[in-house]
Amino acid sequence: RSSTQFQLSCLQQLKSIASESEINRSCIENSEAVEFLASVVSISGNNNGCDDSVNEALEILSKLQISDQALIDLVSRFDDLIDSLTKILNQSNHTSRTNALILLKSIVQVISPARLMAVREDLFLGVVKMLRDKISIKATKSALETLIGVCSWGRNRIKASRSGAVHVLIEILIDCENERRVNEMALVVLDKLSSCAEGRAEIVKHAAGIAAVSRSILRVSATGNERAVRVLWSVARYSATAAVVQEMMQVGAVAKLCMMMAVD
């Protein structure tokens, strides 16, 4: 018990030091403190819990500018770090979940493709849950960036589709209050998922799937236009049943494509 209290006290002091100045944060980043913080998070996965020590460690890690190589080293040294962060995504503490996602986002951008393809479906379930809960714009962007990173590989696109990612992404496009960057990232992920049969099936199955993608054309950004058209192209090429073609005409997808041609 005293050991746990001592650890928590150390973490609180580290957080205080990190909050004082950028120089202090830089010193922490270049010390063994980062490994200590990662070990606290990693151990939590084995204990199936997210106590005060883990919350403090996550908050500090999320504020540090950890180098790519340092992140790679951490994942290599702590094999269960990604699994621990994944478990935290399903906890009730919104702050810890957001901080875990920020760290996870950074990790997936630097680890090897082999390691990325090995991530479990639980990770996608946790990220989708974060999107569904709408904790904050920051959390939503981190979740979308994480999906963009992990869905660069075929197997992961299937895992994401099975985890309900397509449905929540379409709901994001339907929500008119989202900022353009959020909608743009949602379209980037949908484009990736539409390259697999499971993803296209989910788009077609959603009552507003094709309509939401079509509506985004000429409303988000140049990148959003490109991604939305690519999604429609994938659906039209590989899933163009008579019902789908009819729906594309009824919801204005064909008209939007004609407008794109006129603009270009």
What CATH number corresponds to the domain at position 138?
A: 1.25.10.10
CA–CA distance, 87 with 22 (Å, rounded to integer): 30
pLDDT at 47: 62
Q: What are the pLDDT digits (tens) for 1-26?
A: 446 776 777 777 777 776 766 766 77
Map residue 238 onto helix, strand or coil: helix
Measured in degrees and rounded to the nearest 5, phi and psi for residue 50 equal -130, 80
Q: Are residue 248 and residue 134 in the same domain, yes or no? A: yes
Q: Are residue 53 and residue 119 in the same domain, yes or no? A: no
CA–CA distance, 146 with 159 (Å, rounded to integer): 14
Q: Are residue 84 and residue 137 in the same domain, yes or no? A: no
- Residue 62 belongs to domain spanning: 1-108
Q: Are residue 59 and residue 120 in the same domain, yes or no? A: no
- Nearest to residue 223, comparing CAs of 252, 166, 180, 261? 180
CA–CA distance, 61 with 90 (Å, rounded to integer): 19
Q: Are residue 64 and residue 146 in the same domain, yes or no? A: no
> Are residues 248 and 210 in contact, defined by beta-carbon separation less than 8 angstroms?
yes
H or E stretch covering 54 = helix 52-63
pLDDT at 2: 44
Q: What are the pLDDT digits (tens) for 203-212?
A: 999 999 999 9
pLDDT at 11: 78
| Residue after which a domain boundary falls, among 92, 108, 124 | 108
b/e per residue 171-195 (b: at least 16 CB within 10 A):
bbbeeeebeebbbbbbbbbbbbbbe
Average pLDDT, the chain: 89
Residue 114, CA distances (Å) to 68, 110, 148, 162, 168 in order: 17, 12, 16, 21, 27
Q: Are residue 86 and residue 176 in the same domain, yes or no? A: no
Q: Evaluate if residue 128 carries a pLDDT over 70.
A: yes
Q: What are the pLDDT digits (tens) for 227-246?
A: 999 999 999 999 889 999 99
pLDDT at 229: 96
Helices (H), 175-252: 180-193, 197-205, 209-216, 222-238, 242-250
Can you tell me the mean pLDDT for 191-201? 96
Measured in degrees and rounded to the nearest 5, phi and psi for residue 65 equal -95, 75
Q: Are residue 72 and residue 162 in the same domain, yes or no? A: no
CA–CA distance, 211 with 174 (Å, rounded to integer): 9
Q: Are residue 90 and residue 140 in the same domain, yes or no? A: no
- Nearest to residue 92, comparing CAs of 60, 58, 39, 130? 130
Q: Evaluate if residue 145 carries a pLDDT over 90.
A: yes
> Are residues 49 and 86 in contact, defined by beta-carbon separation less than 8 angstroms?
no
Q: Are residue 31 and residue 4 in the same domain, yes or no? A: yes
